[in-house]
Amino acid sequence: MELINIREYPVKNVLSVLLKDKTTDKNIIFATEAYTESDIGAKTQITEDILLGFRALAIQPRVLKSMDEQSERTRKKAEVFTPSWICNKMNNHCDAEWFGRDGVFNIENGQSWEPTTEPIEFSKKNEWQAYVDSTRLEITCGEAPYIVSRYDTTTAEIIPIKRRIGILDRKMRVVNENTENEKEWIKWTYRAFQSVYGYEFQGDNLLIARINLLITFVDYMQDRWQRKPTVAELKKIANIIVWNLWQMDGITGTVPFGKPKECYEQLSFFDYMQGINDTEEETMDCQIYDWRNNCTISYNSMKRG
């Protein structure tokens, strides 16, 4: 069983983009010891050649990994498994705060839910745009189950669009209900994607999260307009995704393991002698993009306000 396929549309069309790290201007790194049997270290950059050399199921969501591998990743990297119904419950709580009422997008029923059927009501005329633009961040996002819900995280079954519960899925429902033509729809779809952020330490998880958002874009385009996105549209959404889902050590707000060695500037003899006993990696603050102000900022500066 496969939930993603890097060798087929749409992933193969923008795989090189999905591997980029906007902070280092290189590729994201594995940041895990899970691939040592393939002679791949934690600091190894993820490349297309490496991925295409893997067996078909090597890069797949957690639900398709062996129980031993799941347990090992939890033990070593505190990787947490979150069922879809928990993601829905927490997203419902956030929306109840935003709307001032419960049951906006669905009604919970134990470990399941039933989507509401009427269009989402807003108290003000243009408030739907404010909801789409409202920024949300999933910390240590893993495969981004809070942002998009393509598949059930416990059964691996694909979730129909009308039953999806992710933060971005909710925004896309609002976009669908409030736009009348394709031009307006795609404008607000891009804005919806620009409004959701997430960071992750392990590179394989981050790649899966980025792919999940990419395929979500394709799903909604096909559902609403009965066509696949063009390569140009895929590249544009992939660029947004790569800026908004980035690789970071969440404790320090910096690139995992410090600045890549090949990024170091040439040192003078005196600089070298002064730092010869310094074995620590040079830190590098992660950069993110402020789409509304059209500028980059560091994550740490954003935390400081």
Strand 196-200 versus strand 136-138 pairing type: parallel
What percentage of residues in the chain have a pLDDT greater than 70? Answer: 87
Burial label, 18 (beta-carbon count in 10 A; 0-12, 13-18, 19+):
buried
Quickly state the pLDDT bin for 80 (edges 50, 70, 90): low
Quickly state the pLDDT bin for 275 (edges 50, 70, 90): very low
Q: Tell me the mean pLDDT in the region 255-274.
A: 64
Look-up of token digits 């999806």: 164
Quickly state the pLDDT bin for 303 (edges 50, 70, 90): confident
What percentage of residues in the chain have a pLDDT greater than 90? Answer: 74
Which tokens sit at 64? 């398709």
Give dist(CA 231, CA 280) in Å, integer: 42
Quickly state the pLDDT bin for 276 (edges 50, 70, 90): very low
Give dist(CA 16, CA 1) in Å, integer: 24
E-only strand ranges, 45-141: 106-109, 112-115, 136-138
Q: Tell me the mean pLDDT in the region 72-85.
A: 66
DSSP helix/strand/coil, 197: strand
Which tokens sit at 159? 């979730």
CA angle 260, 287, 196 (to 5 degrees): 125
Quickly state the pLDDT bin for 72 (edges 50, 70, 90): low
Burial code (b: 16+ CB inside 10 Å, e: under 16) for 153-183 equals beeeeebebebbbbbbbbbbbbbbebbeeee
DSSP helix/strand/coil, 240: helix
Among candidates 247, 216, 211, 246, which has minimal Cα distance to 60?
211
Q: Which residues pair with 196 in a beta bridge?
A: 136
Give dist(CA 223, CA 302) in Å, integer: 36
Q: What ranges do the domains of the chain cover?
A: 11-303
pLDDT digits (tens, 9 = 90+) for 116-167: 999 999 998 889 999 999 999 999 999 999 999 999 998 899 999 999 999 9
**pTM of the full structure:** 0.89
Q: Is 92 within 8 Å of 105 (Cβ atoms)?
A: yes
